[in-house]
């Protein structure tokens, strides 16, 4: 225990500060990257940009274009402000809705309630509200902007699969994230990412309604919207290039080139960069929360065993929006679609996390193997149950 407590500040209060400083630059870049995207979305929503571009194409006097763009930007910023305020206020409710979580009656799960209460005493945190997602997946997350308004969400599968010590480990990990301010940051990032992906989400909803195909709410339902916007952006860029070649005035030409590139940036480049930055922030914090959890439970094998069980491919997979995947304790996505690894990965590889935990002591290879076997057993049981239902 000494090892971990010496190279890190002892108290959670102090760590909040250092943690924030560490990721501040990432957040600054995130804001810079995302502002144009928001402006575009807001413009797009008001339809003013389309109108001004149309008018410009019709008459092309620059004097008339500038005020229109100015006014539309003003309206967009205003709308954006209202939207951000509303989303900030309702962000945890948004996240809870996106995962179909329902409040948990304390009498339903006395063990969980007791575990949470005890760990909160140890961490010096107020007891969060509890919610449950009815799913066989084994996963857990928390949301909320302040520790006293936080909600801890577990899946029913997690409660089924983990024993007392393991549950203690994952709950401690979540509580550490609440205490470290990671949950606040994660909730804000989730909200921002949800807005950025709004065109895709709306597109997905439309396509879903049209096709009546039940694609779930995972990453798969985004395929067609992405394709649609990619074709749209490519089309507008290519046709724009043709139009620009006719313009002789260099200033005007530069202006139109920039205008033309806005959709490309707002719909594809911006969200992609933001997605990577969000993932980088999230990865950074996962190790810290793991170490903090051990500081709280004083029992490294608990969390390590839980992670080994959860990490059995398929166990943690839960239908959820990609914009909030960083909130969960392990990536809720399907195992290894290529663009969830590397720069896009929201979590460090589970092997590395378990490795780091095993360096804290107490964990034997046999324990780990047993936990993995249990995880596989759980996976098979779930698969069998799903087959018999169909």
Given the rule CB under 8 A, which of 87-95, 237-245, 351-359, 361-369 is the region that contacts another protein? 361-369
Q: Is 10 in the site for another protein (CB under 8 A)?
A: yes
299 touches another protein (CB under 8 A): yes
Which region, judged by CB under 8 A, interacts with another protein, from 22-30, 78-86, 223-231, 356-364? 356-364
Verify binding: residue 312, another protein, rule CB under 8 A.
Answer: no
DSSP 3-state of 92: helix
Least Å distance, CB 108 to another protein, is: 18
* Complex with another protein: residue 305 or 379, whichever CB lies closer: 305
Using CB under 8 A as the binding rule, whether residue 364 contacts another protein is answered as yes
| Residue 300 neighbours by CB under 8 Å, 6+ apart | 294, 357, 358, 360, 361, 362, 363
Tokens at 48, concatenated: 């003013």
Nearest distance from residue 11's CB to another protein, in Å?
Answer: 5
Applying CB under 8 A, which of residues 1, 57, 213, 227 lies at the interface with another protein? 1
Q: Which residue has the tokens 């393991």?
A: 166
**Cα separation, 375 vs 50, whole angstroms:** 53
Shortest reach from residue 120's CB to another protein, in Å = 8
Question: Is residue 11 close enough to count as binding another protein by CB under 8 A?
Answer: yes
CA distance 300 to 359: 9
Written as six digits, the tokens of 66 are 């500038």
What dihedral angle (degrees, nearest 10) is formed by the CA atoms of 360, 366, 370, 375? 50
Cα-Cα-Cα-Cα torsion 305, 108, 144, 191, nearest 10 degrees, comes to 80
> Binding marks (x or -) toward another protein, 113..152, rule CB under 8 A?
-x--xxx-xxxx----------------------------
Site residues for another protein, 151-170, by CB under 8 A, read 165
Residues 45-104 that bind another protein (CB under 8 A): none
Provide the H-helix boundaries in the chain.
2-6, 12-46, 48-59, 62-98, 110-123, 156-161, 164-179, 182-196, 198-211, 223-244, 250-264, 270-297, 300-310, 350-358, 365-389
Report the residue number, 74 or 361, with the smaller CB distance to another protein. 361
Q: Tell me how far apart the alpha carbons of residues 35 and 22 are, in angstroms, rounded to a whole number.
A: 22
How many other CB atoms sit within 10 Å of the CB of residue 17?
Answer: 12
Give whichever of 181 and 301 is closer to another protein, judged by the CB atom.
301
Residues interacting with another protein, by CB under 8 A?
Answer: 1, 10-11, 13-14, 114, 117-119, 121-124, 165, 296, 298-299, 301, 361-362, 364, 366-367, 370
């Amino acid at each position: 225990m000494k090892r971990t407590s010496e190279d890190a500040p002892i108290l959670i209060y102090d760590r909040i500060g250092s943690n924030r400083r560490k990721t501040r630059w990432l957040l600054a870049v995130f804001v810079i990257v995302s502002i144009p995207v928001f402006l575009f979305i807001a413009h797009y929503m008001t339809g003013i940009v389309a109108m001004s571009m149309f008018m410009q194409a019709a008459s092309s006097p620059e004097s008339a274009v500038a005020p229109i763009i100015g006014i539309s930007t003003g309206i967009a910023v205003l709308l954006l402000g209202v939207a951000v305020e509303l989303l900030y206020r309702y962000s945890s409710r948004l996240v809870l809705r996106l995962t179909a979580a329902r409040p948990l009656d304390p009498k339903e799960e006395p063990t969980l309630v007791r575990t949470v209460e005890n760990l909160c005493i140890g961490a010096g945190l107020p007891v969060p509200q509890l919610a449950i997602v009815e799913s066989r997946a084994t996963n857990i997350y928390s949301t909320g902007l302040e520790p006293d308004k936080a909600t801890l969400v577990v899946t029913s599968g997690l409660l089924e699969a983990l024993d007392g010590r393991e549950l203690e480990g994952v709950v401690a990990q979540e509580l550490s994230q609440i205490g470290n301010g990671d949950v606040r940051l994660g909730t804000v990032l989730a909200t921002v990412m949800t807005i950025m992906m709004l065109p895709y989400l709306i597109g997905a909803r439309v396509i879903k309604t049209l096709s009546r195909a039940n694609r779930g709410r995972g990453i798969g339902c985004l395929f067609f919207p992405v394709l649609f916007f990619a074709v749209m952006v490519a089309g507008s860029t290519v046709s724009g290039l043709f139009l620009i070649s006719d313009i002789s005035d260099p200033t005007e030409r530069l202006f139109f080139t920039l205008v033309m590139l806005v959709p490309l940036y707002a719909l594809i480049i911006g969200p992609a960069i933001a997605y990577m930055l969000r993932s980088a922030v999230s990865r950074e914090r996962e190790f810290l929360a793991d170490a903090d959890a051990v500081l709280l439970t004083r029992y490294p094998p608990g969390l390590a065993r839980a992670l080994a069980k959860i990490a059995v491919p398929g166990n943690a997979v839960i239908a959820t929006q990609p914009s909030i995947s960083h909130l969960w304790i392990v990536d809720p996505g399907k195992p290894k679609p290529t663009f969830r690894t590397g720069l896009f990965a929201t979590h460090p590889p589970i092997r590395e996390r378990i490795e780091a935990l095993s360096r804290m002591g107490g964990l034997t290879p046999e324990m780990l193997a047993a936990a993995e076997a249990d995880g596989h057993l759980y996976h098979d049981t779930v698969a069998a149950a799903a087959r018999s239902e169909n």
